[in-house]
Structure 1
Amino acid sequence: MSHTDPGEPDRVALQARDVAFDWSTLPVHWIPGEPFATHVINFLHLVLPEGERWFVHVFKQALPMVADDRLLEDVRGFIGQEAVHAESHQGVLDHFDAHGMDTRPYVEQVRWMFRTVLGDRAHGGRRAENWLVQRLAMIAAIEHVTAFLGQWVLDARELDAAGADPTMLDLLRWHGAEEVEHRSVAFDLYMHVDGSYLRRSLAMVVAVAVLAVLWVRGVRYLMAVDPVLRGRRRPRWRDLLRSGRLGLTPSLGQVLRAVPSYFRRDHHPSQHGSTSQAIAYLAKSPAAQAAEH
């Protein structure tokens, strides 16, 4: 979704909000009667804690490379927000693990990917800097996807109509609003330290391919360990088409339209998503308001 309203704020001061969520009454299928759609979104809880800790780790390493004070302030705000995101989604995983849905084997694979495959390497000098820039390009690409998802969940009134759990909706929309709020930071940082069009394009190709594989495997895994389904149902492609048509998950069409804009040479994240809508949600989010007070 693209917003070009001239009334949109150019920039907001990014702040970490010390939110808390109570998962004690969360049902297994928090979208009632929709286990597939529930687990398509639950996949995010599997990857975000480790993924966002990795974002924070890489961004901290990049701080000495930032020569612009305004960008440095944004990067520090981004680091604070991402750290809170990681712990908030970790709380959902802890709840799952305590209530019969063991996510640990899959999360171990995710942890290996971020900490070993994408982790620090024993390089020095130019090679170390090149590996850091490579990872910044990857984060910029992933942040394009998370900003799309953030705008989607802010717009997805179908989840309310379906009776989705209000606490989970608040987590997703609080997180989604902050993704929209800081959607330009990773891209701006990458452009500041490198800016190669080829590198950022290749990073997006890799990011989309890896996310697609992880998402398919993650949904299959969650359906298999679901304590209600007990392995009696497997995910099917027609389930994805149906949930997208109902507006309970992003549709394939929405995803396919969201990615190509990143390959335009004049692309900038500010061209997509609504900062004013994100700020409006954060002003009423139960968790964000509780944190503020």
Structure 2
Amino acid sequence: MPPRPVVPPAVHDSLVLEPRDVRFDWSRLPLHWIPDEPMATHTVNVLHLLLPEGERWFVEVFKDALPLITDDQLREEVLGFIGQEAIHAEAHQEVLDHLLGQGLDPRPYVRQVTWLFRRVLGKRPGLTAAQQRENLIERVAFVAAIEHFTAFLGNWALNSPGLDRAKADPTMLDLLRWHGAEEVEHRSVAFDLMVHLDPGYLRRLRGMLVSGPTLFHLWIRGVRFLLAADPSLNGSVRPTWREAQRIARRGLLPEPSRMVRSALRYFRPGYHPTQEGSSSQALSYLAGSPAARAAASR
């Protein structure tokens, strides 16, 4: 017997997603912002390679989906999601520009990411209206699966004292935790939109089976690229699973086993993103984030 369709719980009666126009000063950011940890630094830096183009793609997909939404509350959440994701893209783009100024050219890898999101996952010309709708819902399912991972990473960033112990750059920590808090805050929106457009379990299953391995592959390639392109390393550091496990044990990266278990939870028929992370913790961080407080005062 196939799993029953997911009916999202009524958990968003008071959810108001606020785009926070944050700004960061990267002028003092060292190339290895986790001191003496180039692999840990660049493993996290893959976010800056993937997110600007990826989140612009999220925004495009959700704008296209707006005419299909018949629930007023969900429409407001989607609009808030669009606003937050647009700001996320620009914040990470600034880090890419800073890396370029430090002699690490991210553009070859970013061009590949851009090709993936615009050509492979973008709008397809020549489709009928029914095919366009199907393609759009499929892309929403991909976003929902990716948002599961960004919420997982956001929850990790909010609960990662290892980065503080390692004396990671405070501005970068604020970027990661501000962004992570907003990912936890809006963690249900993409999933709820997918279920709104197609409550079937197979859509969710397919979205994760495509997005999960693709994201994993892109991340490994990104780490290899950054370590090879880092002008201060001269190719002396190469990523290994042993090193990744050492770094994770120090709390500088998420533990791979926890990420796998999180992905498996997505396949549970009764799963809903509210089961991941804490909205109150996310909002508490946003209330104290230096960048978010500065944005609120402007």
Judge same fold: TM > 0.5, yes or no.
yes
Amino acid at match of 1:254: R
Alignment pair present for 1:281 and 2:280? no
Instruction: Give 1:257 deviation, angstroms.
Output: 1.3
Q: What TM-score comes out, normalization by structure 2 length?
A: 0.94
Partner residue of 2:208 out of 180, 204, 207: 204
- Equivalent of residue 189 in structure 1, options 189, 193, 202: 193
For residue 202 of structure 1, report the CA deviation from its aligned partner.
Answer: 1.4
TM-score normalised per structure 1: 0.96
Is the 2:184–2:277 Cα contact (8 Å) retained in structure 1? Answer: yes
Q: State the shift of 1:124 in Å.
A: 2.5
Name 2:5's counterpart in structure 1.
none
CA distance in 1, matches of 2:43, 2:262: 18
Structure 1 unaligned blocks of 5 or more: 1-7
RMSD (CA atoms): 1.1
| 1:39-88 superposed Cα distances (whole Å, 9 cap, x missing partner) | 11000000000000000000000000010110000000000000000000
Trace 1:63-74 onto structure 2 (pairs within 5 A): 63-74=66-77
Q: Over residues 192-218 of structure 1, what are the superposed CA-to-partner deviations in whole Å (9 max), with x where a residue is unaligned? A: 011221121111011110011101100
Residue 160 of structure 1 pairs with residue 164 of structure 2: yes
Task: After the TM superposition, list the runs of 4 or more consecutive aligned residues in structure 1 that deviate by more than 2 angstroms.
Answer: 8-12
Aligned amino acid, residue 206 of structure 1: V
Structure 2 match to 1:106: 109
Query: Any conservation in 1 of the 2:39–2:237 contact (CA below 8 Å)?
Result: no
Deviation per CA, 1:152-185, whole angstroms, max 9, x where unpaired?
0000011001000000000000000000000000
Could you report, residue by residue, the CA deviation over 1:7-36 in whole angstroms, capped at 9, with x for unpaired residues?
Answer: x98642101000000100100110001111
How far did 1:231 drift? 1.0
CA distance in 2: counterparts of 1:177 and 1:11, whole angstroms: 17
**Alignment partner, residue 85 of structure 1:** 88
Separation in 2, partners of 1:128, 1:10: 31
Alignment of 1:76 with 2:83, yes or no, is: no
| Number of residue equivalences | 286
- For the residues of structure 1 that align with 2:155 and 2:200, how far apart are their CA atoms? 27
Tell me which residue corresponds to 1:290: 294
CA distance in 1, matches of 2:156, 2:183: 11
Contact 2:145–2:211 under 8 Å retained in 1: yes
Rounded to whole Å, the distance in 1 between the matches of 2:116 and 2:242 is 29
Any residues of structure 2 matched to 1:226-265 within 5 Å, and which?
226-265=230-269
Residue of 122, 125, 134 corresponding to 2:129: 125
Amino acid at match of 2:100: D
State percent identity of aligned pairs.
59
Shift of residue 232, structure 1, vs aligned partner: 1.4
User: 5 Å matches for 1:51-66?
Assistant: 51-66=54-69
Q: Which amino acid aligns with 2:53?
A: E
The whole-number CA distance in structure 2 between the counterparts of 1:168 and 1:270 is 27
